[in-house]
Amino acid sequence: MRSRLMTLGICAIFFSPAFSQKSPEPFKQGDRVVFAGNSITEAGFYETYIWLYYITHFPERKIEVINGGIGGDVARQIYVRLDDDILAKKPTVLSVSFGMNDSRYFEYPMHKDKTDSVRKSAIDTSYKWFTRIRDKLNGIKDLKKIMMLSSPYDETVKNGKEPFWGKFKTMEGICAFQKEEAAKNNWAFVDLFYPMTEINKKGQQKDTAFTITGPDRIHPGNAGHLVMAYLFLKAQGLANKPIADIVIDANAAKTLKAENASISGLQKKNNNIAFTYLAKSLPFPIDSTARVFWNPQKQYEALDVIPFTKEFNSELLQVQHLDQSANYNLKIDGQLIGSYTGAALNGGVNLAMISTTPQYHQAKQIMDLQLKRKDLEDKLRSFYWVSYDFLYDRGLFLKDTPAITDSVIAEAKKNPFIGGKKDAYLELHEKSARDKVQKQMDEMTDKMYQLAKPVAHKVSIEKVN
């Protein structure tokens, strides 16, 4: 096998237009979408945000998004668990992402005089195991494959911690063969690596401590995961599909535009406008809690670096020919949502960014239930983490005896990684327990789609005397 060692010059060749990349198709009714990856995927948030967008924007299109990540995984480990973990989930769509761990860590400071050989070994090893993944998946004709480049290692952020110099360049080499192979094998392709790198570079021009990844340079927080979801959805061609785009002529009491929504019963009485509003989609609720371990990022912070609101979260209400200088109360279902000048309403109000609307509350219920479902899925991923990272090489994979559980308990006392996942493993080591959790998750999925059904609302715009 020829060497996969890529200089930056060779990388530029692989990233030239000579290789035609295939965009991932939007998910369709009934799709089971599995994301295979490492700890960034196991964290579960970018997948959660992608799915939440689909539930809120396409409530009639039921899909399931499934976490197939395990912390620490490289291409070899993804290959090892293809049959019993990833493909066992019966995906119709499979996204494969690796590179962060494949590109190695402490080898760089330990072998400063051998960086090139460290890089060559890392890229060659990753490529060797990828070819086995590729050949296995190419044999499954009805499976849609997506190659997704990893989020980047942030080598340039100034945070007082010495980076693994050279790791970023090794990741570029892995990205190069991933992109080349995606084109050759007609896999869909999503690039997280370079767009997120550009966001880091731009932010660090103003603040050298800025990073869209995190304090450890590796694991994105909630903001980084929203950026990842944004890039994935954008690659699917879903940008600029509004929740609703409503334009009303107040003078004529006429609907001029109703995209992805319907307006009925429009009436004008004195200085007030009233109508029934039914949107086919819901707003995307923005979270304000830091949820990724050791990373203080909050989801809403991503809105400063990506046009997510404009491209994916627009529920625009525009009312023309009101008194520009007068004030108007906007009410939905009799509840005061806000007061606006006629000029502001003429310019348009984005209802998706108002957390007090009933449709936002509806979307927030879905988000809250999805997070509870994610907690259950996290337990399943912890079970598989222990099964593969601790038990697999000992010949104890998916076996269940008191001796095995005792060995996990003993190992947890000296291994903090096992210690953090021990309780989940002990809870789910019996298959019946895992089946019970899966049933709970399936019931939550059904409930999320029930909650997402469009609801009509009474809207009134009343001039304030």
- Out of 173-177, 243-247, 259-263, 392-396, pick the least confident: 392-396
Q: How far is CA 463 from CA 45, 127, 154, 192, 346, in A?
A: 43, 66, 52, 47, 14
pLDDT higher than 90, residue 225: yes
Q: Is 269 found in the same domain as 250?
A: yes
Distance CA 152, CA 224 (A): 11
Q: Are residues 230 and 255 in the same domain?
A: no
Domain check: are 201 and 257 in the same one?
A: no
In a domain, 347, yes or no: yes
pLDDT score, position 20: 86
What is the average pLDDT across 198-212?
Answer: 97
Predicted confidence at residue 156, as pLDDT, reads 97
Asked if residues 230 and 239 have their Cβ atoms less than 8 Å apart, the reply is no
Higher pLDDT, 20 or 382: 382
CATH classification at residue 57: 3.40.50.1110
Of 21, 316, 275, 49, nearest to 146 (Cα)? 21
Q: Band the pLDDT of 17: cuts 50, 70, 90.
A: very low
Q: Which residue has the tokens 């692989």?
A: 14
Residue 29 lies in domain: 8-235
Query: What DSSP character marks residue 250?
Result: T
Instruction: Say how far apart CA 274 and CA 404 lie, in whole Å.
Output: 67
Q: Which distant-in-sequence residues (6+ apart) come within 8 Å of 401 by Cβ?
A: none
Task: Clarify whether residues 136 and 21 are in a common domain.
Answer: yes
Are 321 and 362 in the same domain?
Answer: yes
Give me the mean pLDDT over the 282-301 stretch: 95
343 and 265 share one domain: yes
Number of domains in the chain: 2
Residues 6+ apart with CB under 8 A from 12: none
121/189 same-domain check? yes
- Expressed in angstroms, the distance from the first to the final Cα of the chain is 80
Could you tell me if 154 and 208 are in contact, meaning their C-beta atoms sit under 8 angstroms apart?
A: no
Together in a domain, 267 and 391? yes
Closest CA to 129 of 177, 94, 180: 177
- The predicted-structure confidence for 37-96, as pLDDT tens digits, reads as follows 999 999 999 999 999 999 999 999 999 999 999 999 999 999 999 999 999 999 999 999
**Is beta strand 327-332 parallel, antiparallel or unpaired with respect to 335-341?**
antiparallel
Domain assignment present for residue 112? The answer is yes
Mean pLDDT of 276-300: 96
Same domain (yes/no): 266, 216? no
pLDDT value, residue 19: 59
